[in-house]
Amino acid sequence: MIILFTEKMLYLQEMKVTSSDLLAILRRFNVADDTNVPRQIDQVKQTHPSAINQLVQFRFNRQHFFVLFDETAEDSASYIMQQIYTAKSDAEGVILENPTSDLTTYGLPFKGKDAYLFQLTSDKKRLDILLAERHPEISRSTWQKHIKAGHVAVNNAPAKNTKQEVTDADHIAINIPDSTDFSAHELPIIYLDDDVIVVNKPAGVLTHSKGALNDEFTVAEFFCRYTTVGLDTNRPGIVHRLDRDTSGVIIGARTPESFDLLKSQFADRKAKKYYVAITDGTPKQMEATIDIPIGRNPSAPSTFRADSKGKAAVTDYEVLDIQNGKSLLALHPHTGRTHQLRVHLQHLGTPITGDRVYGKTSDRLYLHAYKLELTTAPGSRQTFIAPVPESFQKFFPEVYNDVADT
């Protein structure tokens, strides 16, 4: 007979046992402490393996336990498990030893009986954890993405979610599509030597993937052919980045030594970056420095905003030309905050043309990394220029001459 208790009160023969009593037993076995309360005990069930003992099953802090109250003083693991099996034939777990006495191994006295505590364990695991254990070469976060993408099936059915519980007995099938071959894809190379590679990134191309399953051509994918650095990551050779919608100069490291040299220059702000942009409207000042901190926008965490409590962000700008309500600007950021130029120009009331996040959508984001100056090897300071895209001529036909003079 099984009785389900909703008021958390049990009657063991002539002994009344409450959730407070169960908690007291947990405390004596050092499973609970004074910070725990009776309401943390739920899912209480009582069974009667025999006339001389009673078994209580319950849950505490999401873990399942059995307490065996017995009068036989059979302090043996085999006897205790025989009683447990009457309630759960496939029970797996551990009988907790009595921490308070050397006279018994497992039982401790409780209201005239011996109380034995059994903690139920399960061979069930979350699907993503099991996959990460079986295939340690692939991260757990990557497995989560494969599960969400429908690449994993459990017992011939698509996995429900990353938290689905499975066991070693479950049949888990993995069907990860082959990656696209990007070997025929090219990027315009501006400069190449034994230390660095410099390319002109088109708008719309990611600098590097955001992790697994980003099956698209990236700058990092192209750099793989030319670098020995970070080949086991999604950022081989990458020392800085441009937003997907920003075009222009981007440099990569070909050796570990050049990687450290280049990376340190961006971190220490010794790499000089110059951009050209077209804005909707014209700033009030034709030339100025924008010194406004930038912080993450709490209402849209993937975006940023001017924030007095944010990180320091400094940008020099100069208006080169004005035509038909739009302005051509030369920009020189002294810091490298995410979306810095876009946020600064939005703050001035002149968002970059085509900025779908901070302005209005157009055929592209009219922001181009025009020039990059830095040291590529000890004693070798170089400047690299990516010609302004022809699309800019739609608004400013003389854009090439204007920028070349800055």
Token representation of residue 397? 């036909």
271-274 long-range CB contacts below 8 Å, 24 or more apart?
A: 271/240, 271/372, 271/373, 271/374, 272/332, 272/371, 272/372, 272/373, 272/374, 273/332, 273/333, 273/336, 273/369, 273/371, 273/372, 274/330, 274/331, 274/332, 274/369, 274/370, 274/371, 274/372, 274/373, 274/406
Q: Residue 40 and residue 56: Cα distance in Å, rounded? A: 16
Cβ atoms of 315 and 290 within 8 Å: the answer is yes
116 closest CA partner among 15, 224, 238, 28: 28
Residue 344 parent element (H or E): helix 340-347
Angle, vertex CA 280, rays to CA 274 and CA 284, nearest 5: 80
Residue 123: CB atoms within 10 Å: 10
> Tokens 């739009």 label which residue?
326
Residue 57 parent element (H or E): strand 53-60
Per annotation, catalytic residue among 243, 245, 280, 355: 243
243 noted as active-site residue:
yes
Residue 9: CB atoms within 10 Å: 13
Cβ atoms of 295 and 279 within 8 Å: the answer is no
Which residues belong to the active site?
243
